[in-house]
Structure 1
Amino acid sequence: MKKMKIYFNRWFSVAYHYMNAIRNNEDGIEFEIYATHPDPRHMSLQGCDHAEVEPALQGLEYVKFCVDFCRRHQIDVFIPRLRMLHISKHVHLFDEIGTKVIVCRDTELLEKLMQKDKFYESVAETGIMTIPAYQVVNNAVDFKKAYEDLAAQGLRVCFKPTNSEGGLGFRIIDNDRDPLEELFGHVTKWISFDEAYQVLSSKESFPDLMVMELLEGFEYSIDCLSDSEGHLLAAVPRRKAGGRLRLLDDKPELLEIAKRVAQTYKIPYNFNVQVKYNGDTPKLLEINPRMSGGLHVSCLSGVNFPYLAVKLALGGKVDPQTPEYGILASHIEQPMRMKTAETVSPV
């Protein structure tokens, strides 16, 4: 039986772990893994069998590059991260060459997921979970009003761009800070209202910001596996437990949220729900329609999330999984010899 060929385009460094998880699958299927990235020494390329340098392209031109890559290397399954929306909009180009793509084909949903305020509106309409109090602003006057409205409710306030990934642009408003002390300390995510207002007032308008209540309880990242019909096959709630520690936690209310998200939005393959508690209530932060940055930790539950997504894409049957919970996990650095630039093929 020939090796199945998997392709990762520009991914995070943790794709190294996903590649190894697929390679070390429980069915004993052999895979040949391909990857591209603009940086020939990027960590994600160290886990693949064949690497190429990725060109700087946008939109349809980038999709055509990926299609050509899949055609040239006869790729069986493509696992995209960069330009997921564009790839989803043109997924028929991959269908035509016989490459399965691990992506949500509901482009309207993908667009909402990438605009946090639009997705919050959608979640509020469905009632499947609680969302934080928030207002969307794009000028300093509205920023001030939103801050004052939330503060008047007794809420601590934070803000972040409506269209960002991870913690980019996230700030917490704290008016009790000591600027001199911070000047000699670490760079922080805290900022006073006056400082934020001064910066935002320097422009007539700015890209949309969500001004939100600050959630101060435990933050959970729920790694999920689902089929295209909305059947949740696995869910593992994972939270920070101090320092490098991570706890894979059995939280019935979070497992129920994962189930409702799968049934409502039918996001196929891997997706991730991020929530944070306010008291006893978990509230939505965001949903990522892809493998999360910490998914390899959730795989310690006994569920091989990356491989099972590939198995689904190839038409295989995946039964509901039984994750092991209550696992306290961590990680250590391990030295390794890098592949040199000469071993990475230029495009």
Structure 2
Amino acid sequence: MDTIKVLITSAGSAPAIGVIKALRQQKEIKIRIIAVDMDRLSAGFYLADDFYLVPSSQESNFISEIIKICKKEKVSFLIPIIDEELPFFAKEQKLLESVGLRVLVNNLEVIERGNDKYATYLFCREHNILAPETYLFSPRSKYSGISLPIIVKPRWGRGSQFLYKLKDLNQLDYLSLPNREFVVQEFISGREYTVDILAQPDGTILQAIPRERIVVKAGMMYKGRTEKNKGLIEYAKRIAQKFGINGPCNIQFIEKGDKFYLIEVNPKFAAGLPLTVNAGINIPFLLIKMHLGMRVSSQELEFKDNFYMLRYWEEIYFSNYKKVEH
């Protein structure tokens, strides 16, 4: 098989680094990695085979610049990484496919529902999935019946930015929030899990890999372990199927007592992806294999139980600043 060329966006982000490392780890197919980012000091540039600076996804020429690079490099696969980019690639999927690109992205409807925390809550209610009570934020609302404490967080957004935990509803009157929509959510205390989902392009869910988030900083797992919890695996697979997942995805839960509360459905790769990959299931590579029509063996769907990951900082050094210019 000829070398497969893959373009990965937002190359400096933690999920992108995880995807690059995952594709490097496999030896079955020769893959050339092209990294793009709007930051000229992106760490992912130094892990890729080549790199390009691109405009922000909010700029009108973002997609056209991506297509120009893909044509020049003869790219076969495009892997979008962060929330802000996903809708653009989903909307332009037919255009991208017309120039020979396979895009590892979910359908636009799935992305919009997953990125919207209130829409995700309404989906849970419709399908009888246990989730924290969630309301659209309004300073004048009393949120009668909601249990304390509560969480206030952006309706759309990622990570832990602008997230507040309040012990008293009266504190809502004193919040200084940016000019954007927020939700008020019942606080659920318990063990945190992220479940990575492996889905076929037709939406068939092949596997779900639970990871306990033992230590989390700024929304990212720093210490974690895999857990072969059969009940959670089957539960996550059913949810992913109902949600319409047919691309990268991770689902976040909190275990309280003997129940799992769905917190978020993220239609993208997670920052904790390396734990799943090194436990045995290389999701980015398997997605590429499936799009190429190659068979995924049962062995490739097995993962190690109680397999730990501890993270630490790792540096990249260079002395020639011009190296990052392309």
d(CA) in 2 for partners of 1:262 and 1:92? 24
Distance 1:174 1:126, change over 3 A: closer
Q: Determine if the alignment matches structure 1 residue 141 to structure 2 residue 140.
A: yes
Report SS of the residue matched to 1:135. Answer: strand
Q: Which amino acid aligns with 2:87?
A: L
The equivalent position to 1:85 in structure 2, one of 80, 84, 87, is 87
The equivalent position to 2:97 in structure 1, one of 90, 95, 98, is 95
d(CA) in 2 for partners of 1:287 and 1:229? 19
Q: Which amino acid aligns with 2:322?
A: E
Q: Which amino acid aligns with 2:146?
A: L
d(CA) in 2 for partners of 1:310 and 1:339? 35
Which residue of 2 is the match for residue 161 of structure 1? Answer: 154
Alignment of structure 1 residues 186-205 onto 2, 5 Å:
193-200=169-176
Report SS of the residue matched to 1:119. Answer: helix
Task: State the superposition RMSD in angstroms.
Answer: 2.3
Contact 2:275-2:308 at 8 Å conserved across structures: no
Q: Deviations over 1:144-181 (max 9, x none)?
A: x02x5314xxx321111111112222111135xxxxxx
Distance 1:156 1:253, change over 3 A: farther
Contact 2:208-2:234 at 8 Å conserved across structures: no
Contact 1:40-1:341 at 8 Å conserved across structures: no
TM-score w.r.t. the length of structure 1 is 0.84
d(CA) in 2 for partners of 1:94 and 1:255? 33
Which residue of 1 is the match for residue 280 of structure 2? Answer: 302
Gaps of 5+ in 1: 176-192
The runs of 4+ residues in structure 1 deviating greater than 4 Å are: none
Report SS of the residue matched to 1:221. Answer: strand
Distance 1:224 1:345, change over 3 A: same
TM-score w.r.t. the length of structure 2 is 0.89
Which residue of 2 is the match for residue 232 of structure 1? Answer: 205
Which residue of 2 is the match for residue 186 of structure 1? Answer: none
Distance 1:339 1:26, change over 3 A: farther
Alignment of structure 1 residues 100-139 onto 2, 5 Å:
100-104=102-106, 106-127=107-128, 129-137=129-137, 139=138
Among all aligned residue pairs of Structure 1 and Structure 2, give the percentage whose two residues are the same amino acid. Answer: 22
d(CA) in 2 for partners of 1:340 and 1:280? 55
Contact 2:36-2:51 at 8 Å conserved across structures: yes
Contact 1:233-1:319 at 8 Å conserved across structures: no
Q: Which amino acid aligns with 1:31?
A: I
Contact 2:192-2:214 at 8 Å conserved across structures: no
d(CA) in 2 for partners of 1:59 and 1:310? 28
Give the CA deviation at 1:132: 0.9
**Count of residue pairs the alignment pairs up:** 316
Give the CA deviation at 1:140: 1.1
Which residue of 1 is the match for residue 164 of structure 2? Answer: 171
Which residue of 2 is the match for residue 214 of structure 1? Answer: 187
Give the CA deviation at 1:195: 4.6
Q: Which amino acid aligns with 1:37?
A: D
Q: Deviations over 1:308-343 (max 9, x none)?
A: 122122232224411111112213334443485422
Which residue of 2 is the match for residue 19 of structure 1? Answer: 20
Report SS of the residue matched to 2:304. Answer: coil
d(CA) in 2 for partners of 1:337 and 1:14? 21
d(CA) in 1 for partners of 2:33 and 2:145? 52
Give the CA deviation at 1:107: 1.5
Contact 1:7-1:79 at 8 Å conserved across structures: yes
Which residue of 1 is the match for residue 219 of structure 2? Answer: none
Report SS of the residue matched to 1:323. Answer: coil
Gaps of 5+ in 2: 217-221
Report SS of the residue matched to 2:239. Answer: helix
Give the CA deviation at 1:225: 0.7
d(CA) in 2 for partners of 1:94 and 1:163? 26
Distance 1:112 1:17, change over 3 A: closer
Give the structure with higher Rg (CA). Answer: 1
Contact 2:10-2:16 at 8 Å conserved across structures: no
d(CA) in 2 for partners of 1:3 and 1:66? 20
Contact 2:15-2:81 at 8 Å conserved across structures: no
